[in-house]
Structure 1
Amino acid sequence: MGSDAESAVQLDWRDFDDDSLPPLLQSAVQTFVAHGYHGTTTRTLAAAANMSVPGLYHHFASKQAIIVAIMDYAMDDLWRRSIVAQAEAGPDLERQLALHIECLALFHAHRKELAFLAATELRSLEPDARTQHIAARDRQERMLVEILRAGAATGAFRATDARQVARALITMCTGISQWFDAAGPLSATAIAEDYVGYARRIVLGG
């Protein structure tokens, strides 16, 4: 994890204002969300990006390559933010849990379209890409599992089955991408704060 931490050291994990996703992929995200992977043609993707089809192929060899690039970006972005959040928490396991859940909640609110595609279009990936995406997803899950196991070992957490608890907490956070509305009554920050409270009650009791 050392090299990942070094590459992410300058990242403000709570800041989502700077979107480094290339414009072509940004337009592809919107198109895939609107029409689904199988309902989107290469011609539609090119038109959304104000490009010709040959111009699109200059950047990506296929529609599959585009969805893979989007899903890789989503998992990489979440992973880098999670590493920095854990480093900020230090050795305090309760704080590690709180900041990890805050990170998950903020990501799935601010990057809701990316998160939605990463969750729903796994079925559209070809076998090698699917295997790679599942590995990235499992790596992300293991970070929370390890926090929960460490807390259970010290008696701080009530998590006899850390993997099951981790999946419940992750599912709770990933669901935000399906309903969050930036124009709604609750901000992403407020929702993240609430979700940290829910996680604490599940893991700490009370």
Structure 2
Amino acid sequence: MVPPGREHADGSPVDWRSYDPPDLHPILAGALAAFYEHGYHGTTVRDIARRAGVTVPALYYHYANKQGILVALLEITVTEVNERAGAAVAEADDGPVPRFARLIEAVVLFMSNRFALAYLDTELRYLEPVNRRRYATLRKKLESLLVEILADGKATGQMTVDSPRDTARALLGMCQAIAGWYNPAGELSPTQIATRYVGIALQTVGAVPR
């Protein structure tokens, strides 16, 4: 089965290793900066409007409330990481180990290049139940793709995995944590971090890259 993610929703190809600054509406850009600095609970709609350079009524014209802004940012985040991971896996059609390595690389590159967006995952507790369920469904796509690869690796004897699902959750948690400590001014680039994490992930599942 060809994994999803070769193309963006608009049909354009996904260059999963290349990152430009995120193309966000000014309100979303202002909210992202505020959420990253103060957290969702500590951010006011007035602060978001000020950062975006709009009035509060203008903000409410685009988004019903602060919750709606958080939902929009989270959906942008999960859509992009799913597209990039899918594109990375689709490039590696020669077995579960290369596909696994590509997926981990794509996720780590996303977590470091989009660390502010990725960090919003820590604010899930503030989502209303209906929004949390929708986000969980979108988020599940990445986990399901990784579980499928791990199950294939286990079935073919190329990976030593007791539980593909538990292993997938542990690995994704490891990658997600990058958003909490990554510093663009640090000594390691996103590419270097990805290389290290791919090595850690391969050792975790008992796989050796070709």
TM over 0.5: yes
Separation of aligned partners in 2, 1:183 and 1:4: 31
Please give the residue correspondences for 1:152-163 in structure 2 after superposition, counting only pairs within 5 Å: 152-163=154-165
More helix by share: 1
Separation of aligned partners in 2, 1:151 and 1:173: 20
Instruction: Say which SS state the counterpart of residue 205 (structure 2) adopts.
Output: helix
Given the alignment of the two structures, is residue 47 of structure 1 paired with residue 54 of structure 2, yes or no?
A: no
Q: Quote the residue 1:195 is aligned against.
A: 197
Instruction: Say which SS state the counterpart of residue 54 (structure 1) adopts.
Output: helix
**Structure 1 unmatched runs, 5+:** none
Q: Quote the residue 1:180 is aligned against.
A: 182
Q: Quote the residue 1:65 is aligned against.
A: 68
Paired-residue identity, %: 42
Deviation at 1:60, TM superposition (A): 1.0
Given the alignment of the two structures, is residue 147 of structure 1 paired with residue 144 of structure 2, yes or no?
A: no
- Specify the code of the residue in structure 2 equivalent to 1:41: T
Provide TM-score, normalisation by structure 1. Answer: 0.94
Aligned residues: 205
Q: Quote the residue 2:23 is aligned against.
A: 20
Separation of aligned partners in 1, 2:124 and 2:197: 26
Separation of aligned partners in 1, 2:207 and 2:58: 56
Please give the residue correspondences for 1:119-134 in structure 2 after superposition, counting only pairs within 5 Å: 119-134=121-136
Runs of 4+ in 1 over 6 A off after TM superposition: none
**Structure 2 unmatched runs, 5+:** none
Provide TM-score, normalisation by structure 2. Answer: 0.92
Deviation per CA, 1:151-191: give whole Å up to 9, x if none: 10001110121011111111111111111111111111000
Change (3 A) 1:193 1:4: closer
Separation of aligned partners in 2, 1:136 and 1:115: 14
Instruction: Say which SS state the counterpart of residue 42 (structure 2) adopts.
Output: coil
Change (3 A) 1:58 1:113: same
Q: Quote the residue 1:116 is aligned against.
A: 119
Deviation per CA, 1:8-58: give whole Å up to 9, x if none: 651111111142222321111010111111211111110111110011112
